[in-house]
Structure 1
């Protein structure tokens, strides 16, 4: 698996783990709690492997930015969280920030 694909899969694991964190109800539900632990371990392991050949700044911007937007969308779809104009603007600003940060280049070292 290439490093860019590892980052993409790490993002998926991170978003799933974050949504499971909400579903765990403070780690009082075993199934979602197990998904949290496995998901975050997998996400960080994949991210660490990708960072062997990718620069940390742009990769972390993509991982955290897309993860944040993914958790926002997942919260809306799975938990009925409210969508407000300010949250949509914030999500758009995150995406714009990730694009601007990656426009500087330097993805691989």
Structure 2
């Protein structure tokens, strides 16, 4: 159940981040409200993951890495943002670091 809640926290954060892009500096009401609700929802769900006993380093690491990866890929594929090979390699390193946290927590 913890990983399902964590997936919800990641999705909520990604939605909030995408809405921030369309909020025009928080001058457009609907995207601004979605952005705030997305971030608040993400933190609420993350708090529930922690309540269930997942370590904060593992939970936050997975949440942050998955969110950064998702936003970078969505930005590059759908929004015309650049994603260089160096940036892609950085994402791979972040994911590797999170995997190390997860595998280390299992011992």
Calculate the TM-score normalised by the size of structure 1: 0.90
Which consecutive residues of structure 2, in runs of 5 or more, have no partner in the other structure?
A: none
Secondary structure (helix, strand or coil) at the match of 1:51 reads: helix
Who is 2:43 aligned against?
A: 44
- Per-residue deviation at 1:48? 0.3
Tell me the C-alpha RMSD between the 2 structures: 1.4
Higher helix share: 2
Calculate the TM-score normalised by the size of structure 2: 0.92
Which consecutive residues of structure 1, in runs of 5 or more, have no partner in the other structure?
A: none
Provide, for residues 60-101 of structure 1, a one-character-per-residue CA deviation record: whole Å limited to 9, x for no partner: 110011111111112123321012111111111111111111
- Per-residue deviation at 1:30? 1.4
Provide, for residues 38-68 of structure 1, a one-character-per-residue CA deviation record: whole Å limited to 9, x for no partner: 1111111010011012111111110011111
C-alpha distance in 2, partners of 1:101/1:26?
A: 35
Greater relative contact order, per chain length (Cα 8 Å cut-off, separation 6+): 1
Q: Where in structure 1 do 4 or more consecutive aligned residues deviate above 3 Å? A: none
